[in-house]
Amino acid sequence: MAKRQKNTPRERFLYLRELVTEFQDTSSVDAKEQVLANLGNFAYDPDNYIHMKELNIVDLFLDNLEDENKNLVEFAIGGICNLCLDKNLKQLIYKRGGVQKVINCLSSEREEIVLSAITTLMFLVYPESKAAITNASVIDCMLRFKESNNRRISNLASVFLQDYCTSDQIQNAKMLSSTYSNKHVSHSGT
């Protein structure tokens, strides 16, 4: 006799809905972290994308990118990174202001958050979002990351610059950065 499949789309939806409810209802930081980590893992499976959209999990992840708890930020950026491989979710993330929230994660002191933020930005590039993602300040940040002693961050920043930025954009960012640095030095010296 064939074994009944336990993981039907309905069961997945109900389980994910339980996780969202638990996240919203609990006051336990540990429980919130565990639930968000689980949701981030479920975001890896394209079979769950439709449920993630229906349950507004994209918004849950985006809201937690600005949390003071760095574990929540790390799990949220990981979830967004997984979801943005889907074209519709990528557009939803962009329309909900996700690009700027991901860019803000580049200033994190936590390596995993920075790595996920760079990767997420690369995954989020499509014609409508490209200008916001490859602006001069992001390129300047990637140029600084490229010089980092952290090989993982340096390599990922190099890929970003090589694959998503034009040489004109890079030169412009370098020029703006040096202009800002020169003004900052001359003002601080007086």
Q: 70-97, pLDDT tens digit by residue?
A: 999 999 999 999 999 999 999 999 999 9
Mean pLDDT in residue range 52-61? 97
Q: Which two tokens stand for residue 165?
A: 């930025």
Q: 92-114, pLDDT tens digit by residue?
A: 999 999 999 999 999 999 999 99
pLDDT band of residue 183 (cuts 50, 70, 90) is low
- Burial environment of residue 186 by CB neighbours within 10 A (0 to 12, 13 to 18, 19 or more): exposed
Q: 137-146, pLDDT tens digit by residue?
A: 999 999 999 9
* 35 Cβ contact list (under 8 Å, min separation 6): 19, 22, 23, 26
CB atoms < 10 A from the CB of 119, how many?
18
